[in-house]
Amino acid sequence: MDGSRRDFLAATGAAVLSGLAGCAGEPGTDGDNTGTDGGDAATLSPDSDADGGNDSNGSGSLSGVEVGYETLAGGFTSPVDIAIPAAFDGTKRFVADQPGRIWLHDDAGLRSDPYLDIADRVVDVGGYDERGLLGIAFHPEFGDNGRLFLRYSAPHRSGTPSNDSHTFVLSELTVEPEATTVTADSERVLLELPQPQGNHNAGTVAFAPDGYLYVGVGDGGGANDEGRGHIEDWYEAVSGGNGQDVTSNLLGSVLRIDVDSEGDGDRPYGIPADNPLVGRDGLDEQYAWGFRNPWRLSFDGEDCYVADVGQNRWEEVNLLRRGGNYGWNVHEGTHCFRRDDCPTATPEGEPLLYPVLEYPHGGDGPSGIAVIGGHVYRGAEIDALSGAYVFADWQSGGRLFAARPQESRPWDITEIPIAVRDDGGRFVLAFGRDPAGELYVCTSDNSRVGGTSGTLNRLRKV
């Protein structure tokens, strides 16, 4: 992509053509979300110099807001991502189903055949499983170039140790833009990473207004960011891990790459010159680090909201900053992890950044076990939500969460009841936003990968 195109995207806040949310760690899996290891004895002070978010976020109380679901389609197994390309003015909605299929919903309804089927390239998933087809993103110029990007879990490939769980794959297809079914014959693999465990896979691939592709990568799985596949880091109080490392692997990070240019050597993508570790000790793809499981991220103008799934006690949402270290596994949310006290900076003086939103795994008010990242609402249907970041917890059931930027941190969270909805939908799996700023939610009545209870819903005013 040339400079003029990038300048145009940055100036206009071009629509992000990405999938937008997914499911997260099940309680009791590898000790991730239950037990006593996520101690919260110390609460840290949020960083006061971080940006407060987009100023054009609307105003007014969120108290008393009610919304409903308009169900557009059903029969999905586990719909964990939604992409709504601007190329079609929001009339085509692409739903990624975890076992390895993408489905097209348009004015004709849900197409009877998959838009794309790569189940033969994805690991077999079933029961409780965080692997699978996890993310899709359409190039900002998809209507002209037909470029589609996929993020999925593949069986072991060359370079993945035999005792690791699977291989992380980021790849690109070139397809006919107007087609209603496509194949993966044109697949070009951009990146493969060994995944030590089966969980903490993140999964987002999202284009930002700067034209670059952002990729969320989890810490490698298991609990505490330690064990097989986790290296030693500077923080000796907790052995491991990948979140605090920038030199050995790309785990526990948000990556930023240029898919419109060729890289050096065998690298099939370029590195933006202003990535924070270019010319420094570290891996050039990394844009920010210190994440546990950044399962979903989304852009609102230049603001990027990263929902990072917590372990035992706290869920969090961060505003992404170039070169930011978000503290895992030193802290969980704004709370020290497994210690009564913990540092607020690395030994080199790099500050550990704290979230703009957090909620606990129990107690009064908003709570849950696994945050599902959403979007800032920019539509016209629900005036009361204008400018609010709308998100959920995997076990939100009949409610969503919403928050607006404010001076103090963490920001206040308001619970938004779903006043009108079809039966089922106990588990929130994904959010999407169309070019008009309206929001979509995928839900399921099944906590496992199986069945046909998954639905695509449009958020509407009650």
How far is it, in rounded angstroms, from Cα 91 to Cα 113? Answer: 18
DSSP H/E element including 154: strand 147-154
Own/partner pairs, 188-191, CB within 8 angstroms, 24+ separation: 188/268, 189/268, 190/149, 190/257, 190/259, 190/268, 190/269, 191/215, 191/257, 191/269
In this model, does residue 65 exceed pLDDT 50?
A: yes
Which residue's structure tokens are 């709370």? 335
How far is it, in rounded angstroms, from Cα 271 to Cα 251? Answer: 17
Per-residue pLDDT at 58: 62
5 three-class SS: helix
Q: What is the largest CA-CA distance in the chain?
A: 58
How far is it, in rounded angstroms, from Cα 97 to Cα 117? Answer: 10
The closest alpha carbon to 80, from 394, 300, 424, belongs to 394
How far is it, in rounded angstroms, from Cα 415 to Cα 438? Answer: 19
Per-residue pLDDT at 99: 98
Q: What is the pLDDT of residues 402-447, one digit of tens each?
A: 999 999 999 999 999 998 877 668 899 999 999 999 999 999 999 9
In this model, does residue 103 exceed pLDDT 70?
A: yes
231 or 422, greater pLDDT: 231
Residue 18 half-sphere exposure, CB side, CA atoms within 13 Å? Answer: 31
How far is it, in rounded angstroms, from Cα 88 to Cα 358? Answer: 36
Per-residue pLDDT at 231: 93
In this model, does residue 3 exceed pLDDT 90?
A: no
Q: What is the pLDDT of residues 281-311, one digit of tens each?
A: 999 999 999 999 999 999 999 999 999 999 9
Per-residue pLDDT at 120: 98
In this model, does residue 57 exceed pLDDT 60?
A: no
Q: Among 48-62, 110-124, 320-334, 358-372, which is the least confidently predicted range?
A: 48-62
Per-residue pLDDT at 415: 95
Q: Using alpha carbons only, how large is the chain's radius of gyration in Å?
A: 20
Q: Among 16-30, 228-242, 363-377, which is the least confidently predicted range?
A: 16-30
Q: What is the pLDDT of residues 333-352, one digit of tens each?
A: 999 999 999 999 999 999 99
In this model, does residue 161 exceed pLDDT 60?
A: yes
How far is it, in rounded angstroms, from Cα 254 to Cα 270? Answer: 16
Q: What is the pLDDT of residues 446-457, one digit of tens each?
A: 999 999 999 999
CATH of span 3-50+78-366? 2.120.10.30
58 or 444, greater pLDDT: 444
- H-type helices in 157-271, by residue range? none
For the entire predicted model, the pTM comes to 0.90
Mean pLDDT across the chain:
89
Percent of the chain topping pLDDT 70? 87
> What is the domain partition of the chain in residue ranges?
3-50+78-366
Q: What is the pLDDT of residues 14-51, one digit of tens each?
A: 332 233 333 333 433 444 443 334 343 455 655 544 45
Per-residue pLDDT at 7: 41
Per-residue pLDDT at 2: 44
46 or 265, greater pLDDT: 265
Mean pLDDT of 98-122: 97
Q: What is the pLDDT of residues 309-334, one digit of tens each?
A: 999 999 999 999 999 999 999 999 99
